[in-house]
Structures are given as C-alpha cells and as structure tokens.
Amino acid sequence: MAKRVAVIGAGVSGLTSIKCCLEEDLEPTCFEQSSDIGGLWRFTEKIEERRASIYNSVITNTSKEMMCFSDFPMPEHFPVFLHHSKFLEYLRLYADHFNLLKYIRFYTAVIHIEKAQDYSTTGQWTVVTEKNGKQECFTFDAVMICTGHQIEAYTPLESFPGLETFKGNIFHSRNYKSSEGFEGKTVVIIGMGNSAADIAVETCRKAKKVFISTRGGTWVMSRVYDNGYPWDTIFQTRFNNVIRNSLPWLLLRWLTEKKMNQWFNHENYGLVPQNRSLMKEPVFNDDLPSRILYGAVIVKPLVKEFTESSAIFEDGTVEENVDVIIFATGYTVAFPFLDKSVIEVENNRVPLYKHVFPPHLEKPTLAFIGLIQPLGPIMPTAELQARWATRIFKGLSSLPPESTMVTDTIIRNEKRIKWFGTSRSQSIQTDFITYLDELAAESGSKPNPFMLLLKDPRLALTIFFGPCSPFQFRLMGPGRWAGARNAILTQRDRIVKATKTRVVEKSLDQNLFGFLKIFGFLVLLAAVFLSLRQPSSSPSDEQ
Ligand code: FAD
Ligand code: NAP
C-alpha cells in the first residue's frame, strides 16, 4: 500500500511537494488553511492571520527562467520578472497541468502534529486539523511542513526608546498594501531589506518625505544585469560559482565591491554595507538610486529615539512631524502546531540536516520544505528538497547517523555566518548552486557538464557557462524529463521573446560581428585546407 503523506500548506513548497509525492507513488493529502493555492503569492486586500501578506506592487526579484519548476517552463510570453498576479497564474497552470488540486483540502488548518503512539516502530504522525471549528485527527506515514516563513511579523518595538509616546501611525510591512493614504505624510521606514526599498520607492511618489533608517546598509542591485539580461541568469552560472568558491577571500571581496559599485557608488548614496565582505542578500530595486537622487527618499542611520512626533537619528539629526513609522524588519520563523520536542527555533532558525530533516528524530518521516532563503529563487530549491524527501520517505535513500547530521548542521551554520553574517535577516540564508547540487546529488539528478562534454558539447557548455536554470536537474536520474535539454538550449530565446516585442533589424555592429565571425571561420577553413594540400617533404625533395 502506498505511504500516506500529509503536506501542510499549498503555496510554492506545498504544490511541488504534492507533485513529488505523486512522482514517487506516495499518497499526498494537502491541508491548506485558506481558500486557495498560492500562499504568499495570492494577494488579498484583507490580511489573513496564518498567511503571508504582500503589497499590491510586488514584482518578483528572481526571473522566470530561474524561478520556474524544473519540468514546467513558464509560457514564453510571460514577462521576465513577474507581478505577483502573473506568478500566481503560473502556479495555477502548474497545479492544473499536474492535476494537483484534487489532493488539497482547503479551509483546513493544521493545529497540532505529534508522534503517533507507535511512532518508534512505524515513524507515523498524528495530524490534528480544524475546519469550521470542527477538529479531526489523522494518521500519516510522513509529513512535509510547507507553511512558509514570512507569516509572523518581527517588530522590535523594544529596541526603540520613546516609541510608546509616538502619536502617529506605526505598523509592520506585512500590513502595507499600497501607497494610498500617504499623501503629504512624513514616513520613516526602519530596515533596509527588499520590503523597505519597495515601500520607500512607492510611497515617496505621494508622501512629503520618506526616510529609510538602516543600521547596516546594503548592496542594491538592478534586476537588469550585464547586456540587459536578468541578474540571476548571469550571476548564477556554474562558471561564476566556481570562481566565487575558489578565489581568495580578499580578492573576492574586492571584485564584489567593484561589481556592486559599477551601477552607482554605494558610499555616495549612504548605502554601503557595514561589513562589505559578507554576501548578504542584496536589495533588488531599479528605482531606489534614482529616488535618492531626486531627494524623494533619504537614507539615514538607525533611529536612536522617538518622541511624540519626531525621530532622532544616531547621527544626531532630528526629523520633526513624522506621521508614519513602518517596521520593514522582517519575519519570525514559527511553527505553532509543533511541540518543542520535535523542533526548536533557535535564533530564528531551525537546525535541520541539509535544511530539511530534524537530525534527532528516530525516523526520517518529517521534512521541512522551503524553510530557506537561497541567493536565488526558492522554487527550484524547494522542489529539489521535496524530491529528496519523498525518496527518503519511500526508502529509496537513507539519512546518515544522527551524529553526522548534527555535525553537518553545525558546520553549515558556521559557513552561513562566514558568508552571510549573524544578522537575523540572514538566519536561513544559503548559497544557491552549491546547495542545489548537494540536494540533486542526493536524488541522483546532479548534472555533470564535464562528462557531457564529449557526448553533447553544446549542452555541456550551456550548462557550465549559462544560467543554472532548474531544467538542469531533470536531465538525468530519477524524474528525468525528456524536454529538459531543449528547455535549457532555448532559455535565452524565452527571455528575449518577452522583451523583443517589436521586431528590429540587427544593428550595424551585430551585422559586422556576424560577418567577422563567418569571415574568420572561412579563413580558418582555408588554412586547414591549404595545410592538408601541401605536399609533405620527402627525402628525394631534400636531395
Ligand atoms: P508560503 O507562500 O508562505 O505558503 C505557505 C502556505 O501554508 C500558505 O498558503 C498558508 O496559508 C499555509 N499554511 C500556513 N500555516 C498553515 C497551517 N497551520 N495549516 C494549513 N495551512 C497552513 N522568493 C523567490 O524565490 N523569488 C521572489 O521573487 C520572491 N519574492 C518575495 C516577495 C515578498 C514580498 C516576500 C515576502 C517573499 C518573497 N520570496 C521570493 C520568498 C517567498 O518565501 C517564496 O517565494 C515562496 O512564497 C515561499 O513559498 P512557501 O510555499 O514556502 O510559503
Ligand atoms: P528582511 O530581508 O528580513 O530585512 C529586514 C531588515 O530589517 C534588515 O535590513 C534588517 O537589518 C532590519 N532590521 C531588523 N531588525 C532591526 C532592528 N532591531 N533595528 C533596525 N533594523 C532592523 O525582511 P524583508 O525586507 O521583509 O524581506 C523578507 C524576504 O522577502 C526576503 O527574502 C526578501 O528578498 C523577500 N522580498 C522580496 C521582494 C521582491 O521580490 N520584490 C520584496 C520584499 C521582500 P539587518 O540586516 O542589519 O539585520
């Protein structure tokens, strides 16, 4: 009989987990407390208690070829970076295509999960749900926790003396929906993550003044990277990953700074990160530098103190008549339905083996999917986690002993601190390609461009020098997808298709370059031909 798996949540992570269960002939039941799929990506004006809440202007900061699932490319007419509604449309296409909806029970919240009575022999879990006030109890062979980590707002009110006297409006970025109502207001935004930058750029069009107060600064990157390609398709290549992982630290730091400052000098904009050697998640915002240039957004240090109506910054400057304070200070990782004996959140992170399995459980039947912040899209990351976890549930693969897993979590955490620092916003940050490869190796789907070089050189070179897109993990092994090769070789076409909406003649430069390439090729051909025709010298010639 097929093993029964409970999937909690029907966002990105939940949907792909259902599909991975089906691929391994497991029997999934997904519980989603809200009315629909999409999780964070389903925008609603009304904020729901247990679901992430976004503002109406959210555009993805990862691009479509990098953030799709590995066997389901986005339609080629979809924009390169997507409005939340467009990404939700993609999730609906995915769910329809793989027929996932029939496994989801909507309006059903999981309120408690605990080990079943005979857990030590079966590894089973008891899952308690609530629907319309009615509770139900189920037994499952395995559980996949896909509830996201941007639900519970982190609002460090206690860090700001005087806040209790402030007479204006205070709220967290989770409660921000649009710039409506900000006309003529003076706004102070605490934090310098992606939410802070987006909200500053949007509200400053209406507000009187907008301040961003940052303690650590940040690198700001444009979504538009070299030659106009999306940043992640250039930054996240295997070639660049090898370089990043092999260069001496100081040289890497110097190169990173140089690259980051190519667009604008971060020092001159008051943005430069305090610790420049860290690879902390950057802010992706194409408008922020120009808004700073217009004086519409003003970057300030941390607020030292608030009064009834003013903000006093650490540099001694004071801004009077502040109307609104927005805490864009991130989120708290929480699993209210799990007992501390199962997992414990420490410093906003859960020590998990390869970010998926709690190491101390006797049975490998509980997995966390999507509890991660990769330096790239979360979608292919969550998908590979789910592919690995379902193979473990099925018994096709196994976990190492507890001590090995614990050591791994410690080493992994030390590396995280070295690369990304100790900031709360980086508590579950991880590398992208290296981590994907690690997961893919577990499920037998890690591509090897060097082995491919002889068999399929074009594909091998695209894999190594081109974007590390999710299709690479469907070329071989279990779950191989016949369309993967073509999807990889046509990914650049799909990117360009979305923007080249007016047919244009090739520029003179491009024509000249094309001509030179053909000319060079002909010269090479002629040289080879001539060298072959040259009579070889014989002893009689020499006489
Ligand atoms: P969620 O999308 O949060 O879904 C969790 C689901 O679980 C929800 O449907 C919720 O209702 C349900 N649920 C929760 N608790 C329970 C329960 N007890 N019982 C039943 N159901 C429950 N990542 C990227 O890769 N690229 C981006 O461009 C990007 N942009 C982002 C923009 C914003 C503003 C934010 C805040 C995050 C962004 N992220 C981005 C990160 C984001 O976390 C992921 O894109 C993704 O949404 C995570 O999906 P998930 O399924 O893990 O969690
Ligand atoms: P975040 O990345 O966690 O950033 C929180 C910010 O608040 C950081 O700058 C942090 O500074 C600061 N902060 C925290 N505690 C503070 C304190 N006590 N005093 C002063 N500053 C404090 O949160 P987020 O911006 O909401 O982003 C959450 C996730 O959603 C990220 O992965 C992000 O990429 C994603 N997101 C994406 C988009 C998009 O695609 N367009 C938009 C928004 C968010 P330190 O770093 O110094 O701790």
Residues whose CB is less than 8 angstroms from the CB of residue 402 and which lie 6 or more positions away in sequence, other chains included: 359, 360
Judge whether 273 and 421 are in contact, CB under 8 Å: no
Residue 510 pLDDT: 65
Q: Which atom of ligand 1 is nearest to the CA of 12?
A: 51
Q: Give the model's pLDDT for residue 230.
A: 97
- pTM score, whole prediction: 0.93
Domain count, the chain: 2
Distance CA(140)–CA(120), nearest Å, equals 14
Residue whose CA lies nearest to ligand 2 atom number 23: 330
Give dist(CA 379, CA 13) in Å, integer: 7
Per-residue pLDDT of 212-268, as tens digits, reads: 999 999 999 999 999 999 999 999 999 999 999 999 988 998 999 999 999 999 999
Instruction: Say if residue 439 is in the same domain as residue 325.
Output: no
> Of the candidates 329, 361, 385, which is a domain's last residue?
329
Is residue 484 assigned to a domain?
A: no
Residues within 6 Å of ligand 2 by CB? 58-61, 150, 156, 159, 173, 190-196, 198, 215-216, 281, 302, 328-330, 373, 423-425
Tell me, what's the pLDDT at 537? 46
- 229 Cβ inside 6 Å of ligand 1: no
d(CA 459, CA 363): 40
Residues 180 and 102 in one domain: no
β-strand partners of 332: 152
Ligand 1 neighbourhood includes 14 CB (under 6 angstroms): yes
* pLDDT per position as a tens digit, 279-302: 888 999 999 999 999 999 999 999
292 is a domain residue: yes
Partners of residue 325 on adjacent β-strands? 170, 188
Q: Which ligand minimizes its atom distance to the CA of 327?
A: 2
CA of 225 to the centre of ligand 2 (A): 22
Q: Could you tell me the distance, in angstroms and rounded to a whole number, from the CA of residue 330 to the centre of ligand 2? A: 5
For residue 174, is it within any domain?
A: yes
141 and 55 in a single domain? The answer is: yes
- Distance from Cα 113 to the centre of ligand 2, integer Å: 30
Residue ending a domain, choose from 429, 446, 463: 446
**Residue with CA nearest ligand 2 atom 15:** 329
CATH number at residue 302: 3.50.50.60
277 and 352 inside one domain: no
My answer on whether 274 and 369 are in the same domain is no
Report yes or no on 71 lying in a domain: yes
pLDDT at 534: 64
**How many other CB atoms are there within 10 angstroms of residue 347's CB atom?**
11
The pLDDT of residue 508: 65
> In terms of residues, how long is the chain?
543
Rounded mean pLDDT of the chain?
94
Mutate to test the pocket of ligand 1, among 40, 90, 236 (most ligand atoms within 8 A of CB): 40
Say how many Å lie between the CA of residue 192 and the centre of ligand 2: 6
At 517 the pLDDT is: 66
Same domain, 368 and 306: no
Boundary-marking domain end, from 329, 353, 369 = 329
Q: Tell me: the pLDDT tens digits for 124-149?
A: 999 999 999 999 999 999 999 999 99
| pLDDT tens digit sequence for 440-476 | 999 899 999 988 999 999 999 999 999 999 999 999 9
Nearest-CA residue for ligand 2 atom 2 is: 193
What is the tens place of the pLDDT at every residue in 69-107? Answer: 999 999 999 999 999 999 999 999 999 999 999 999 999
Asked if 26 and 108 sit in the same domain, the reply is yes
For residues 80 and 48, membership in a common domain is answered with yes
> Closest residue (by CA) to atom 15 of ligand 1?
147
Nearest residue by C-alpha to atom 48 in ligand 2: 423
- Please report the pLDDT score of residue 504 as a whole number: 83
Pair (209, 191) in one structural domain: yes
- Cα–Cα distances in angstroms (integers) from residue 530 to residues 329, 334, 489, 517, 521, in the given order: 70, 73, 35, 20, 14
Please write the tens of the pLDDT for every residue from 163-187. 999 999 999 999 999 999 999 999 9
Q: How far apart are CA 246 and CA 91, in angstroms?
A: 37
Instruction: Give the contacts of 285 (CB within 8 A, at least 6 positions apart).
Output: 194, 197, 198, 201, 220, 222
**Protein residue closest via CA to atom 1 of ligand 2:** 330
Ligand 2 probe mutation, 43, 158, 195, most atoms within 8 A of CB = 195
* Structural domain range at position 14: 4-150+332-446
